[in-house]
Structure 1
Amino acid sequence: MEDVNVGKIEQAVTMILEAIGEDPEREGLLETPKRVAKMYAEVFEGMKDDPRMYFETVFHEQHEEVVLVKDIPFYSMCEHHLVPFFGVAHISYIPRDGVVAGLSKLARAVESTAKRPQLQERITTTVADAMMEMLKPLGVYVIIEAEHMCMTMRGIKKPGSKTITTAARGIYEHDDVKRSEILSLVK
């Protein structure tokens, strides 16, 4: 948050309000530049985070079967339009040699990756690659379902449409049965 130039954001928001024909001195808009700057500092707080950091601490358990955390809510900002997209992530992995991560770490990796101007596809691959690198599991399968406001409130205007992205690593890349198992558990 300390790297965010709040004053510059406030100036930019004032300029946007003026550019669309609004009066930034109007009562309802007086504090808007400050509120937007504060919001941007919060929604982009993952800018410098490396999701691999969430997998530095591991535990050793005698478990080498599927671990699935599903319906992890997230929100992000589309880097093309700077409007929100939001949805849920489902993350599955199969530990190798009993190396497991704390379950909350999967959600934290999604959250920190999403908190920057982003693409859904990049969130999906970044989380999968971070887990593969740090946990060295037999496989990782990440599924993200999201609604994009750039498709809902502008452009094609199709509210309720969902975009689904996947990233399959390790055993999930070539094992249709393993992938099907996760898809059935997610539904």
Structure 2
Amino acid sequence: MPDPMPSDLMPPSFDRAAAEAAVRALLRSFGQDADAPELKDTPARVAEFWTERLAGYGIDLATELKPLPGDLSPVPVILERIPFVSTCEHHLAPFEGHATIGYLPGAGGTVGLSKLVRVVQAYAWRLQVQERMAQQIADALRTHLRPAAWGVQLVAVHTCMGHRGVKTPGVPVRTTLMGGAWEQQPPVPFRL
């Protein structure tokens, strides 16, 4: 049985009333009337948005990444261009892109393809930085699947870079991690 994932998978407490009050205060700090007809429901909508945006903390990967029954051939499993949207923890601004993840089954067996998508979602739906997200996905694959080889590649565009600071929109950032038998010879989908 693989080691359990770190406690960061447990959902944080979410105080909806406090979130709504904070949004009202933010609107007022912008000189806006938070009770105006066009803004009065904004605090509730924003709180609901963040409930969805941070749902990844509640995904238990030990449950998601259970091996399929039966004796399956140990062939490479690679999912390419899994879309994701995450939130930069430094500016609370979105970044979005796609993930390519894969593994060569080993001692941990094989999982359903949708479970690999859930791994990406579990870490994207959190306050995040791209480098950590790539490492967390890789750690989940290694911990739960114990593969002979694994790879993770994230390519994303960060609105915190495009809309503020250097204001350079549309520049993709690529983060690639490889391990096991693929460390020296990555499969084609992971090559630059």
TM-score calculated relative to the size of structure 1: 0.89
CA-CA distance at 1:34 after TM superposition: 0.7
Map 1:3-152 onto structure 2 (within 5 A): 3-96=13-106, 99-152=109-162
Change (3 A) 1:6 1:21: same
Indicate if the aligned counterparts of 1:64 and 1:94 stay in contact, CA closer than 8 A: yes
CA displacement at 1:61 relative to structure 2 = 3.9
CA 1:36–1:73 in 2, change beyond 3 Å: closer, same or farther? same
Question: CA distance change for structure 1 residues 97 and 60 in 2, over 3 Å: closer, same or farther?
Answer: farther
> Structure 2 CA distance, aligned partners of 1:129 and 1:57?
17
Distance 1:180 1:106, change over 3 A: closer
User: Which amino acid letter does the alignment assign opposite residue 168 of structure 1?
Assistant: M
1:57 offset after TM fit, Å? 3.4
Q: In 2, are the aligned partners of 1:51 and 1:113 still within 8 Å (CA)?
A: no
Gaps of 5+ in 2: 1-10
Q: Which moved more, 1:4-13 or 1:52-61?
A: 52-61
TM-score by length of 2: 0.86
1:2/1:122 Cα in 2 relative to 1: closer, same or farther (>3 Å)? closer
What CA distance in whole angstroms lies between the structure 1 residues aligned with 2:22 and 2:149? 45
Q: Is the 8 A contact 2:99 2:154 kept in 1?
A: yes
RMSD between aligned residues = 2.0
Task: Give the number of the structure whose residues are more often helix, by fraction.
Answer: 1
Instruction: Determine the structure 2 residue equivalent to 1:181.
Output: 188
Q: In 2, are the aligned partners of 1:138 and 1:170 still within 8 Å (CA)?
A: yes
Give the total of aligned pairs.
Answer: 182
Q: Percent identity?
A: 36
Contact 2:86–2:126, Cα closer than 8 Å, also in 1:
yes
Q: Note the C-alpha offset of 1:52.
A: 3.8
Unaligned stretches of 5+ in structure 1? none
Question: In the TM superposition, what whole-angstrom CA distance separates every residue of 1:160-185 from its partner, at most 9, and x where no partner exists?
Answer: 11111112121222x2x3x152335x
